[in-house]
Chains A and B, each alone.
Chain A
Amino acid sequence: MRELTYNQAALEAIAEEMRRDPKVFYMSTDALPSLWNEFGADRIKVMPIAESAITGMGIGAAGSGFRPIVDWRQVTFCFVAMDQIVNQAAKIHYMFGGQAKFPMLFRASVGGGGQVAAQHSQSPYSMFMNVAGLKMFLPSTPADMKGLIKTAIRDNNPVISFESGRLMGLKGPVPDGDYTIPLGVADVKRQGSDVTVVALAWLVHEALAAADTLAAEGISVEVIDPRSLVPLDSDTIRASVRKTGRLVVADEAGPTAGFSAEVATLVTEDPETFARLQAPVKRVCALQVPIPYSPVLENAVFPDRSRIIAGIREVLRGSRAVAA
């Protein structure tokens, strides 16, 4: 199969959807060359640095029959649009009794590792997960990216595409032509029997590397990529933990009230899964700090494969016997 980068896969999905549906258009503060060259000023709106206005305009255009894509670029820049996202986009369908549909795709890169300091290194998807009325996903591979973006553009709700800055240049096989991946369906990236690692984005790759290393010692790791954050596929995660009895959650964001806390809870609050747990759940997350610039400090903050391995060893050590 041909290979595309993570970023190219996103652009291909968008271009295909724009060809398929003339109601899809794109708003951004800088024109992306490939989209601009194909679709021009009618469909690619170059906007001033006014993310609040751009986001709100997306809502208005969506409610008027269009399918806008609002590219915030980095998630950082959407914080100036929080009213439009939280008070308006998330609530407008529900609050007005479901009268109109607001199909929108928001794009936002997330994550750190680029030594660009606190304001430009953020993974705040859990904040958005907390807001009822927004769907969102965070893919780890180019193929998942393409399929999820296509689904999101066809969805009749605001959907946020969180895109890992670390993975933009990652190459992987991407099927030709039209296919979609539903929201709310996790992907088991590697089968295993001793411990489940639920990881997001870049940390899926780190978890797979950790699994390779531990396989040499006879430890069998199952790696689950939820892909979609809202809705979140609790069935697949619970089924895996019922099988392995152990759970490590790896996230580039801090732990507090985060995605990792959500996954830990949906496992422990389910009686059947809880009964099979052989060890406390382990979270391998960033430190709960703004992200610092200096490489030494930044590396100290983020989890990686070695910390995932340490987390896996910890749950294996802390295990108790559980009746089958």
Chain B
Amino acid sequence: MISLSPNLPPERQRAMLQQMLTIRRFEERASDDYGAGKIHGVVHCYIGEEAVAVGVCTALTRTDRIISTHRGHGHCIAKGADLNRMMAELYGRQAGYCKGKGGSMHIADFDIGMLGANGIVAGGIPIVTGAGLAAQMEGKGGVAVSFFGDGASNAGPFHECLNIAATMKLPMIYVCENNLWAAQTSAAQTHAEIDVAGRAAGYGIPGVVVDGNDVFAVYQAANTAVARARAGEGPTLIECKTYRWRAHTERKGQPDPRDKAEVEAWLQRDPIALLERQLRQQGELDDAVLRAMESEIAGAIEAAVAFSEASPVPLPEQATDDVFAA
């Protein structure tokens, strides 16, 4: 069971399902193509956590700014990034978002307020807090959102920025995606207090725990936090309890010390299946609509792959482009 649908029109609710499904299908394809050697380096999948990015971004407008982590595909898609240019970046092609310089771990789209996936744990938190400062100085009611993991919540920048944002009443939403693991280390080993949200009290700001697999609960918490931020009342820390279904990265033969029963239990709480069931119960979804949605997504992903394959690989001399801005 998940929360009752929030005050959103049915088409918005279906759009949330569509985005969550898009993230999942995009990553399933990315994982396959990584296995086939078409995508290089390292790929971190967000599968199982889709409700967090979609729930939060549904509460935002296009001009609000977000920052992401090494596990960034979901945040990009939820903020409205173009699948073609995302896939082309994974393929390392000229038409990719970063012209093939970034890859899976570093997709950004500054036009839609997506300030980049970041390979350094907690590295994005100060940057997006600076975007929050910019929003405050612009005075147009914009907000900024930091997505980060439970692992990142133990790093200095998290604490420094929460204090600063609270003191300056910055329009910030800090979203901790607590998937219980940081690479091969469990949160239980590294957190004295299991709830990250409890740390908000130390900074005098609201800290809420939500079921991160319940997209409506995430949306509602985000909506409240966004309203508070837009009203000039300062930041909120939202902790979303969730789980990554796959190993830390897609690299073959990677150790995954997680207990099988733990993984199994979370697979039973698939955020997409939960939303699907909820929408069906509300009479807003049936098999035909779902089939149409799935086929539209499949078509978009095929098109993204075709777009990527058609885009030329970079030229060697382009390696020296963009070191400095003109």
Segment with Cβ contacts to B, from A16-24, A159-167, A288-296: A288-296
- In the bound complex, how far is the Cα of B18 from the Cα of A159, in angstroms? 53
Contact segment of B178-186, B219-227, B265-273, B294-302: B178-186
**Does A76 contact B40, Cβ atoms closer than 8 Å?**
no
Determine whether the beta carbon of A120 is less than 8 Å from that of B100. Answer: no
* A298 to B319 CA separation, bound complex (whole angstroms): 8
Question: Which residues of B in the span 161-179 have a Cβ within 8 Å of any Cβ on A?
Answer: none
Whether the pair A289, B40 counts as a contact (CB closer than 8 A) is no
Interfacial chain B residues near A116, Cβ < 8 Å: 41-42, 103, 105, 119
Please report the C-alpha to C-alpha distance between residue A29 and residue B185 in the assembled complex, in whole angstroms: 7
Cβ contact within 8 Å between B183 and A293: no
Partner of A297, one of B151, B191, B255, B314: B314
Contact code string A1-45 (vs B, CB < 8 Å = 1, else 0): 000000000000000000000000000011101000000000000
State whether A117 touches B106 (Cβ < 8 A): yes
- Name A53's closest neighbour in chain B (CB-CB): B156
Is B240 on the interface with A (CB-CB < 8 A)?
A: no
Bound together, the chains give a CA A294 to CA B314 distance in angstroms of: 8
List 5 A-B pairs, minimum CB-CB distance, nearest first.
Answer: A294-B92, A294-B100, A293-B103, A48-B154, A300-B316
Q: Does A131 sit within 8 A of B, measured CB to CB?
A: no
Q: Which residues of A contact B105 (CB under 8 A)?
A: 116-117, 119-120
**Contact between chains at A297 and B154 (CB < 8 Å):** no
Contact A290 B323, CB 8 Å, known A31-B185, A48-B154, A296-B92: yes
Please list the residues of chain A having a beta carbon within 8 angstroms of any beta carbon in chain B: 29-31, 33, 46-50, 52-53, 76-77, 79-80, 114-120, 287-290, 292-301
By beta carbon, the residue of chain B nearest A301 is: B319
Contact A114 B41 (CB under 8 A): yes
Q: Would you list 22 pairs from A and B whose C-beta atoms are within 8 A, ordered by A residue?
A: A30-B184, A33-B255, A46-B190, A47-B190, A48-B151, A48-B154, A48-B155, A77-B121, A79-B120, A115-B92, A115-B103, A116-B42, A116-B105, A116-B119, A118-B101, A119-B105, A289-B320, A290-B101, A293-B98, A294-B100, A297-B314, A297-B319
Cα distance, A49 to B323, chains bound together (Å) = 30
CB nearest neighbor in A for B255: A33
Shortest B104–chain A CB gap in Å is 8
CB contacts (< 8 Å) of B40 on chain A: these are: 115, 293-295
A47 CA to B184 CA, complexed, in Å: 12
Contact with A along B118-134 (1 / 0, CB 8 A): 11111100000000000
Give, as a whole number of angstroms, the nearest-CB distance from A297 to chain B: 5
Q: Nearest chain A CB to B122's CB is how many angstroms away?
A: 7
**A132 → chain B, closest Cβ, in Å?**
26
Closest A-chain residue to B315, C-beta based? A296
Q: How near does chain A come to B87, taking the closest CB pair, in angstroms?
A: 14
Task: Please tell me if the beta carbons of A293 and B101 are within 8 angstroms of each other in the complex.
Answer: yes
Are A294 and B154 CB-contacts (below 8 A) given A117-B41, A117-B103? no
When the two chains form the complex, which single residue of A31, A47, A50, A77 contacts B156, counting CB atoms closer than 8 Å?
A50
Q: How far is the CB of B270 from chain A (nearest CB, A)?
A: 28
Using CB atoms, name the residue of chain A closest to B103.
A293
Known: A294-B100, A297-B319, A300-B319. A49 touches B122 (CB 8 A): yes
For the complex, is B264 an interface residue (Cβ under 8 Å from A)? no
B120 touches A293 (CB 8 A): no
Known interface pairs A289-B320, A293-B100; A119-B119 also in contact (CB < 8 Å): yes
Partner of B316 from A288, A290, A296 at Cβ < 8 Å? A296
